[in-house]
Amino acid sequence: MVDVLVTNGPMLIMLAATFGFLMAWGIGANDVANAMGTSVGSNAITIKQAIIIAMIFEFAGAFLAGGEVTSTIRKGIIDASFFTETPELLVYGMIGSLLAAGIWLVVASALGWPVSTTHSIIGAIVGFAAVGVNIDSVSWGAVGGIVGSWVVTPAISGFIAFIIFQSVQKLIFNTDDPLSSAKRYVPFYMAIAGFVMSLVTITKGLKHVGLHFSTTEAYMLAIVVAVIVGLIGKVAIGRLKMSEKADLKTQYGNVEKVFAILMVVTACCMAFAHGSNDVANAIGPLAAVVSIVESGGVIGSKAVLNWWILPLGAVGIVLGLAIFGQRVMQTIGKNITHLTPSRGFAAELAAASTVVLASGTGLPISTTQTLVGAVLGVGMARGIAAINIGVVRNIVVSWVVTLPAGAALSIVFFYIIKGIFS
């Protein structure tokens, strides 16, 4: 049957590229809107500015650092040895999975549901493999780990966000002179943000540009960046013209302005980290299809990335956000709990820290769930009444539906594609 791959190779690659683009578009509409939602929701930046920031940094993250994950999703979820005799089934399945996950993401984005793009594609891959090929071809342990991450990821980031926000309250807002407290402590928060974000960039991003650092060097570099960012922050905050004698309300407003600047920095880094992490959901299956077709049916453990695959994913993400990202931004930024720049900063820093922890361990986490957990953590710090329980319930339901929805759609598309080509 390998001759199917030879005769229909270009057609299969074209289909995979089209659906891979749709999937990237869905990631942009849904996930990037998460990364930017806190900044927009707290009014630190406008939607237009968010789109421009995301375009630059998502593209950079996807393009410079996105090659990392193409092997992990492929290796972990299904056992490729089941496809050695029939590589074309893996090709049909990956193409069907991209279409299934892409459609589900577009539907979820239209409804304003922040779902996990990682789990959409994994659900799709599990569906076609279990039903269309062999139930044993799925590593159910890995799938169990993903379901476990629904609880673990939001819990970790929620906890970190809770602690960051409580510390901001104690050190800055609940003091007699919030403004001078902000001038004293905010540079430290900036340094921490600089450390976390640069660590993501150095460990995940630079090896694809040919720069390799050992763990010690990476940490040393991140510390240097943190110190520089802290010093720049100190100078910048020192230059802000604000009246020290203003009443408390005005002082709070001025402190929030400082955090608004911080939010922009964390939003840029969050977009970069997200681009590097999640572009793989669109290009992983695409890279698998291309490498199987081009090698005449040989399934390698790693998919070699062709030059055009990363830019395709990066452009798709940017367009999806620009055209279709507003609704999910609204859900994350405004509907879960009322965000101010200081709360949004706590949520974003917590989410980024969780992404760093997870990518160090190679877990296929969901940036969406990290961020929703962080926003919930910030809301919890103000008491349960500050959270819109109805919105949270809808979000949780949409998370649970994502795996089966992706699976059901991909089974249908798998049989359709198989019927057309064989």
- Specify the range with the lowest mean pLDDT, choosing from 1-5, 46-50, 82-86: 1-5
- Provide the pLDDT for residue 31: 83
Encode pLDDT of 257-296 as tens digits: 888 878 887 788 778 777 777 777 888 888 888 888 888 7
Check: CB of residue 47 under 8 Å from CB of residue 322.
no
**Type of residue numbered 41:** G
- Provide the pLDDT for residue 408: 95
Encode pLDDT of 111-134 as tens digits: 989 998 888 988 999 999 999 888
Dump strand ranges (E) for 225-346.
none
Whole-number Å distance between alpha carbons of 345 and 189? 10
Cβ within 8 Å of residue 322, ≥6 positions away: 28, 51, 55
Whole-number Å distance between alpha carbons of 155 and 413? 35
pTM of the shown model: 0.85
Burial of 393 (0-12, 13-18, 19+ CB in 10 A): exposed
Indicate the domain borders of the chain.
2-181+247-421
- Provide the pLDDT for residue 354: 85
DSSP string, 178-218: HHHHHHHHHHHHHHHHHHHHHHHIIIIIGGGGT----HHHH
Encode pLDDT of 51-92 as tens digits: 888 888 888 877 776 664 455 445 567 887 888 888 889 899
Q: Which residue has the higher pLDDT, 268 or 26?
A: 26
Q: Mean of the per-residue pLDDT values for the chain?
A: 84
Encode pLDDT of 169-228 as tens digits: 999 888 888 888 888 898 899 899 888 878 766 766 555 556 677 778 888 988 999 999
Percentage of residues of the chain with pLDDT beyond 90: 24
Find, among 111, 93, 106, the residue nearest to 412 by Cα.
Answer: 93
- Provide the pLDDT for residue 413: 96
- Provide the pLDDT for residue 364: 64
- Provide the pLDDT for residue 72: 40
